């Protein structure tokens, strides 16, 4: 079955309207903006602080919105009907992800604008952000499939926010608490590594490792989300 743009747009428009009505979910997009406003008044902001706001936007907005959109479908008992419709797995996931991707990119861009951060000459960083966004969207998709309501999704997002969204803050404590060293392999820390290497003028011979680690996270979550989706469809 070929990809139908019409079905994709129908799913996209429906989710956009549902998100507009759900102020509780859509208001989560304000948190990165609040951090951006606060840090913009600090003065000279280090690169790590920009990366913290970017990662928080990806984790909180990207993952939670995606999770909440799917969880709300399950809560209203409409997801199963969508699964049994003529829409393919690709159309359903693409349609639902498109809303989250658009909002996450807007929030991230506005946050960086508020903080006065420019992406000019930072092509590697942009590529890393987009790759990380795929991971967070896939993670949100999987979480949405295993949660039963938006309220439950808001609880599930807490460990994701701390582990993946705020790893940049906790990694400094790894010398005191050895178990925190695993955070070095999270997409947020790898994104910071890409930014630092890019600032120093490094080439792909040095940048391939953080991209490979983020790519491994992406592959794992995409497979997990697809398998869980098919399992729910067969239940």
Give the structural domain span for 152: 5-234
pLDDT tens sequence across 64-122: 888 888 887 777 776 666 666 666 777 777 887 888 888 899 999 999 999 888 888 88
Alpha-carbon distance 164 to 136, whole Å?
9
- In the chain, the number of structural domains is 1
DSSP assigned state of 186: S
- Predicted TM-score (pTM) of this structure: 0.87
Helical spans, DSSP H, in 5-88? 5-21, 23-26, 30-40, 47-56, 64-75, 79-83
Alpha-carbon distance 19 to 220, whole Å?
27
Nearest 5°: the CA angle 147, 150, 156 is: 55
pLDDT tens sequence across 109-148: 999 999 888 888 888 889 999 999 999 999 998 988 888 7
């Amino acid at each position: 079955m070929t990809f139908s743009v019409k079905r994709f747009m129908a799913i996209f428009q429906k989710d956009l309207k549902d998100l507009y009505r759900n102020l509780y979910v859509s208001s989560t997009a304000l948190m990165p903006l609040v951090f951006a406003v606060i840090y913009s008044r600090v003065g000279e902001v280090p690169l790590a602080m920009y990366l913290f706001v970017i990662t928080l936007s990806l984790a909180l907005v990207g993952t939670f919105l995606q999770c909440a959109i799917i969880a709300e479908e399950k809560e209203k008992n409409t997801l199963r009907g969508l699964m049994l419709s003529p829409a393919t797995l690709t159309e359903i996931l693409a349609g639902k992800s498109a809303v989250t991707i658009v909002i996450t990119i807007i929030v991230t861009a506005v946050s960086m604008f508020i903080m006065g951060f420019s992406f000019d000459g930072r092509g590697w960083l942009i590529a890393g952000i987009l790759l990380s966004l795929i991971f967070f969207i896939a993670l949100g998709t999987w979480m949405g499939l295993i949660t039963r309501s938006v309220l439950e999704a808001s609880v599930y997002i807490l460990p994701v926010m701390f582990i993946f969204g705020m790893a940049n803050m906790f990694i400094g404590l790894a010398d005191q608490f050895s178990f925190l060293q695993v955070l070095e392999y999270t997409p947020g820390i790898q994104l910071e590594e890409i930014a630092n290497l890019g600032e120093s003028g490094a080439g792909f011979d040095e940048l391939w490792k953080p991209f490979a680690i983020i790519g491994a996270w992406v592959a794992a979550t995409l497979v997990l989300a697809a398998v869980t989706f098919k399992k729910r469809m067969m239940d």
